[in-house]
A and B are shown apart, each in its own frame.
Chain A
């Protein structure tokens, strides 16, 4: 299958539009980290991952674990656009009774493999999944997405050690390296660099890419596929831009945990090439009933 970059770029654009809309509607949530991870999630759901929205529990599917659970909007948008559930449900984000919880909950939402949100835990779960698949003789792959700030959690390094120890070459970790966390620059708050060398020291295959470049993401997944059989897991250190594609959000830590206002959303949608009257959109789509 030859990669159709234009198709993926369009999907990424649509996902970003949905992220902005649903967060504006919710009035709270994590914008910056959802936008930085959009291209990685797009490449996985619309090109590289083997999955079936009509049969979310299909045994042979590849698994995706969003360890940085606060980026839930990007996952929800990818799932909705893949056809796991109706797009109108995105308007229910963070509202009482909605399956679209503030952080992903697998209970009532098809396509969410595991509940996450408390940082540092997803990679351990992905490790268990990869182990379980190997034990069951299923050749599916496990993809896990971590934030770079999340690498400050000690449990992550326990998992990095264990995944290499158990030789789980069916697991691919993406580090969304946007360089920012709530309180500022990763390097100021608690420096985690160098990342690549750390993973190499833990006996992983490592590749550094521009995580907002779909061609590079595609290559990194090919690199992962070529490592299967090597007995070593793969880490993709993806340099990204927090708030990617929205000029006034890019590289700003303050956009970590806030949603756009209506005015900001309108500007953002305009930058994304989404010509829409916001009031019209809000009046027709924002009402979600349990």
Chain B
């Protein structure tokens, strides 16, 4: 496996949720102001790790996410740094208006870290498959949106969220994700990470979350056919790295956005907004094509909805020819 020109001996799978839980424990030791809330999913979101270490600073709000967001707001108004977790569906779509009016409108220090985003929730099916969260939160003033690509970046991004004064949304998924980065990875709010860079390429991949790995694999397939590529990890979706988008637009014959989210309003939408104003460029948006998901294994769903590297490769080749 080649990642950004570097050969990896083997693929190591790590759960971003596990790293979130472990990072919370690290942060909890350093900072007594950190409070964690969950809505009856603490074992799945891994906030249970924090609960075990700091039972006095963990509150299970039960299955009532709207109330949980209000409680988070009240704690933040009392000077606490509040982490709020649930599945992406119940941490964003369900309490959307509470996030807006009780948290974001006052720029409160609440960090919403949601697991089980996208279709890779798998067998639970469409009621749990969140493909709209990035879009709806992107239109909310004051909100920061980060989508880590692997476990290492999850750790760094969760730590960065504490340094930001204001609301942050961090999107995690259920399955384990291949490790892409090592300890030298640095996350900067509003900055993309170039995994593979070039001043001239056939394809410029702009990806986030677990689609970064698919971009790397698709890039390897394309390079085997003689096509050159750029790969950028846009973990920071809001604020977004406009400069990097324009640079990729200028350097690539075709810009391809990759996300486990609707092609409307998410990373693809954000990239098109920037390019249409700054540097009109042909963009191929790959993601969920404005349809709801369904039950199935994450692997089967990724193939069915065209998100595997092979499917990405096929779509891109069609465009290049």
A residues lining the B interface (CB < 8 Å):
105-107, 113-115, 117-118, 120-133, 135-136, 154-155, 158-159, 161-162, 165-166
Contacts and interface: CB of A to CB of B under 8 A. Distances in A.
Contacts, number: 104
Contact of A159 (B56, B59, B70): B70
Contact of B35 (A107, A126, A135, A154): A135
For the complex of A and B, the 8 pairs showing the least CB-CB separation, nearest first, are A128-B74, A124-B70, A132-B78, A158-B67, A158-B64, A128-B71, A129-B74, A125-B74
Contacts of B59: 131, 166
Contacts of A159: 67, 70-71
A115 B105 contact: yes
Contacts of B72: 128
Given A114-B106, A124-B98, A128-B75, 17 more contacts: A106-B106, A114-B102, A115-B101, A115-B102, A115-B105, A118-B101, A118-B102, A120-B66, A125-B70, A125-B77, A133-B78, A135-B78, A136-B78, A155-B70, A158-B62, A162-B64, A162-B67
Nearest to B65: A158
B98 A121 contact: yes
B62 to A, nearest CB: 7
B61 interface: yes
Contact of A128 (B57, B73, B105, B106): B73
Question: Majority SS of interface residues in chain A?
Answer: helix
B238 interface: no
Nearest to A160: B67
Contacts of B62: 158, 161-162, 165
Interface residues of B, number: 28
Nearest to A118: B101
Interface of B: 35, 56-57, 59, 61-62, 64, 66-80, 97-98, 101-102, 105-106
B109 to A, nearest CB: 12
Contacts of B57: 135
Given A117-B101, A129-B78, A158 B106 contact: no
A231 to B, nearest CB: 16
A128 B67 CA distance: 9
18 contacts: A105-B105, A106-B106, A118-B97, A118-B102, A120-B66, A124-B73, A125-B70, A127-B74, A128-B72, A132-B74, A132-B78, A133-B78, A135-B35, A136-B78, A154-B66, A158-B66, A162-B64, A166-B59
A106 B71 CA distance: 17
Contact of A121 (B75, B76, B102): B102
Contacts of B97: 118
Nearest to B63: A158
Nearest to B60: A165
Contact of B106 (A115, A126, A133, A166): A115
Given A107-B106, A162-B61, A131 B75 contact: yes
B102 A125 contact: yes
A114 B64 contact: no
Nearest to B71: A128
A123 B71 CA distance: 9
B79 A136 contact: yes
Given A135-B80, A136-B78, A162-B61, A121 B105 contact: no
